[in-house]
Amino acid sequence: MEFKHDVIIVGAGLAGLRAAVEVAGNTDVALISKVYPTRSHSGAAQGGIAGALGNEEPDLWEWHMYDTVKGSDFLADQDAAEILAKDAPRAIYELEHMGVPFNRTADGRIAQRAFGGHTSNFGKAPVKRACHAADRTGRVIMDTLYFESLRKGIKVYEEFYLLDLLMHEKRVVGLVAYELATGAIHTFHSRAVLLATGGFGKVYKTTSNCFANTGDGVSAAYRAGVSLQDMEFVQFHPTGIYGLGVLISEAARGEGGILRNRYGERFMEKYAPGLKDLAPRDVISRAMAREIREERGIHGRDFMHLDLTHLGKDRLAEKLSDISSFVRIYLGIDPADDLIPVQHTCHYMMGGIPANLDGQVLGENQQVIQGLYAVGECACISVHGANRLGCNSLLDLVVFGHRAGKRIVRELGDLAWNPMPKEPDKSFLVKIEHLKERQKGESAWVLRNEMQGIMTAHCSVFRKKEDLEKALAGIQSLMERYEKVVIDNRGMRFNTDLTEAIELGSLLNLSHVILVSAMAREESRGAHFREDYPERDDQNWLKHTLIQKTGEVCRLSYKPVTITRFEPKPRVY
């Protein structure tokens, strides 16, 4: 079928929903989501949303902006970081007005707690800046925004999976989507498309990301010729449950939790004497990897302990109940009595589709691509630079989701209906037909396991040239083998065997892009640490990476970082 809507939003996480709330009402807007509504991965965000409300102690947006820029290792565009920090209180009050059930202070205001890298007075001491609803902040914001967008009458196509972005002479035309329930391929004709498709942590073996985070939107944009920005910057969260990757929120350390090595030492005192366990994630993950390398992991193995035993049962029940229950269910231990085995775990992609301050996607020569928008983890605006601070993600989603929504409303009158290409769905029809016909080859899960193994072994917290080269060769060979991937399921209804095979294509593409970008950047900055180039090199590398697909090869280029208030200086915590 061909559907037609003025605006199509792809992805029903916080960024897509916040934009939807803005656009819905007077505009014909549809939301498509590959998972059933309210299942999106924003819901897994636990700890909070940052904003200098100053409800617990004095705070200023300038301090928040400074922390964001320093946390980014000075790669964030400072005009974007300024908007993020300045707009945060408004965005949070607005969520409260919509009904988000935040925890409260004794006098009834929104409660705040400490979080990694957030400080007062330009780095002097940790500050309570994270607004939260226990440890399920993302989930309650998502539910609030979802029902709010329904109330405003948005049309939702649930369990529709984005296959392809349709462009015509560098303008957006619409997209092609696969309906999971029926196996039908549909085309959507539109004047504006907003991509809010999230991250792609599934390129790694151990990740806090959900199964759906396979970078479909980022990969579709890349295939359509859009360049991707800063793809080498992959965040590893210090505290995923060992082996599983289920996240133990930074809020656990915000509430006073401590990381310990096999000797019971609070090792972060060594690496970040100022902020210790509340240093930014890249710093802590690297410290953990270093401890493990030097055989100070627990029992000499590849994990550390998170100690919450001193917090007491009441505090755990009140402020960290979800994570306490994860620990009980998956490890069979009680965090009030036992130490939690944790491991650094792939968590967040700083890179993505380059977009300006209103979420408009930037194409060649940084010109806006008419009708195409991107916000959230799939986008790179860039507020997080080389490393994102905890609680800045939910904030990014609502601040820039709101801005992109407003921009779309403002601009829609000027956006034309561009003609649909002939047989827009043909390439995927053929691809799927071939997939279903092929009898001999390898299964997607075999290739996916290998890919995740390669990326985890060679492109995690520590990187070096020979490892990256090895990984690149490995991924390239997997891409060749992927041409002959086979599936077991030839049916039409809920054929997840088929969609997983298609998702793997996106993941392989993105692994490749991460590796090429990482290999080129011969310095260490934020989450990208090169053992062969251990220092930050502002002289040569204070710039954003852009990578573009041109035919069968990819081309790297760079663009400057916007610096307004804070000149780069050494980053110590």
The residues that touch other proteins, with contacts defined as CB under 8 A, are 35-41, 43-44, 53, 89, 92-93, 96-99, 101-110, 133-134, 136, 139-140, 143-144, 147-148, 150-151, 181, 210-212, 244, 246-247, 318, 321-322, 325-326, 329-330, 332, 443, 445, 487-489, 491-497
SS3 category, 202: helix
Q: How many CB atoms lie within 10 A of CB 573?
A: 20
**Residue 28 or 497 with smaller CB distance to other proteins:** 497
- Residue with smaller CB distance to other proteins, 57 or 535: 57
Distance CA 157, CA 431 (A): 23
Per-residue burial over 376-389, b = 16 or more CB atoms within 10 Å of its CB, e = otherwise: bbbbbbbbbbbbbb
Least distance (Å) between residue 235 CB and other proteins: 18
- Minimum gap (Å) between residue 573 Cβ and other proteins: 30
Rounded to a whole number of angstroms, the minimum distance from the CB of residue 24 to other proteins is 13
136, 191, 253, 281: the active-site residue: 281
Cα 95–Cα 97–Cα 102 angle in degrees, nearest 5 = 60
Strand order from edge to edge, sheet including 553-560: 228-229, 543-550, 553-560
| Phi, psi of 98, rounded to the nearest 5 degrees | -75, -15
User: What is the C-alpha to C-alpha distance for residues 485 and 447, in angstroms, rounded to an integer?
Assistant: 8
Per the annotation, the verdict on 90 as an active-site residue is: no
Using the minimum distance from each CB to other proteins, give the nearer residue, 74 or 482.
482
Q: By the 8 A CB rule, do 72 and 386 touch?
A: yes
- What's the closest the beta carbon of residue 394 comes to other proteins, in angstroms? 14
Provide the 10 A C-beta neighbour count for residue 290.
Answer: 15
Per-residue DSSP letter, 462: S
State the number of CA atoms in the 13 A half-sphere of 405 facing the CB. 29
Residue 20 or 167: which CB sits closer to other proteins?
20
Nearer CB in complex with other proteins: 131/311: 131
- Cβ distance 373 to 195 under 8 Å? yes
Any idea what DSSP says for residue 339?
Answer: P
Q: From the CB of residue 58, how many other CB atoms can be counted at a distance below 10 Å?
A: 10
What positions carry a catalytic annotation?
A: 281
